[in-house]
Amino acid sequence: MEGKTAIVTGGAGGIGSAVCRAFAGSGVGVAVADVDGTRARDLAAAISVEGGNAMGVEVEVRSEGSVDTAVQRTVDHFGRVDFLVHCAGNNIRSPALELSVEEWSGVLDTHLTGAFLFSRAVGRRLVEQGEGGRVVFMSSVAATAPVPERGAYSPAKAGLIGLAGVLSLEWAGYGINVNAVCPGMVLTPMTEMVYEREPTLRAQRLKRMPAGREAHPEEVADLVLFLCGDGSTHISGAAIPIDGAFLKNGFMLESE
């Protein structure tokens, strides 16, 4: 992977920052792309102090112009792009009967339209370069185990699996592999925000987790790096759970 370049959207977030650090530790130049430009630049600076090669890029993943500029800046800085990891995401709480169109679109556009805009912009570069590439979408177990009262979250995560499938077919001839990763609960700022909003939720969920714990962001980053590495050349169009068997828990007795 040495000398290659990755763009990580939501790169300043919990999972995104672990992915950025993992890439940097493997000699990959990283564009930390996030709507929070300050945190993106701070993380890039910290990675550089740690010996990695990173730049912070402020981007709004829902805006076509902002996405195209972010990809152009990345290529101008590093000279190329090889990997896209789309981690940008948000989450609201609202029953469907009370959900506004703005709330619905705010979630759907961040997860799914953002994935489309970024993969189109990066995909064009990858085709031009002619050396293949890898795209990874951060989906969720929520794609197949729908979460009630979370607006478009589950539909958006299911849509990411659909988009990964479409692109894996369209781009197979270019040597570009496109996969979705489906974490269960991961201990990140987004999860902490949800637990703060709903204080009994963590204890309830832990009872339904076969592994008895959430994932660490670094465990998800390891899977992303595998999907961008030489060990996964024939994996494309897949949606891979990383959930400690959470999706298999239908008959599981709740732990005390």
Q: Give the residue numbers marked as catalytic.
A: 153
| Binding track, positions 87-126, relative to ligand NAD; x by CB under 6 A | xxxx-------------------xx---------------
Contact residue for ligand NAD among 35, 108, 112, 164 (CB under 6 A): 35
Identify any residues that bridge with 34 across adjacent strands, giving them in sequence order: 58
Residues 175 and 182: beta-carbon distance below 8 Å: no
Binding of ligand NAD by 146 (CB under 6 A): no
* Interaction between residue 223 and ligand NAD (CB under 6 A): no
Q: Say how far apart CA 19 and CA 13 lie, in whole Å.
A: 10
Choose between 60 and 82: whose C-beta lies nearer to ligand NAD.
Answer: 60
Which CB sits closer to ligand NAD, 130 or 199? Answer: 199
Q: Are 220 and 183 in contact (CB under 8 A)?
A: yes
Work out whether 154 is an interface residue with ligand NAD (CB under 6 A): no
> Cα separation of 121 and 146, whole Å?
30
Distance CA 179, CA 235 (A): 8
Binding ligand NAD by CB under 6 A: which of 113, 154, 191, 236? 191
Please report whether residue 189 would count as binding ligand NAD according to CB under 6 A.
Answer: yes
> Shortest Cβ distance from residue 16 to ligand NAD (Å)?
6
Buried b (16+ CB within 10 A) or exposed e, 185-209: bbbbebbeebbeeeeeebeebeeeb
Asked if 34 interacts with ligand NAD (CB under 6 A), we say: yes
- Residues 166 and 159: their CA atoms lie apart, in Å, by 11
Positions in the binding site for ligand NAD (CB under 6 A): 9-10, 12-16, 34-36, 59-62, 87-90, 110-111, 138, 140, 183, 185-186, 188-191
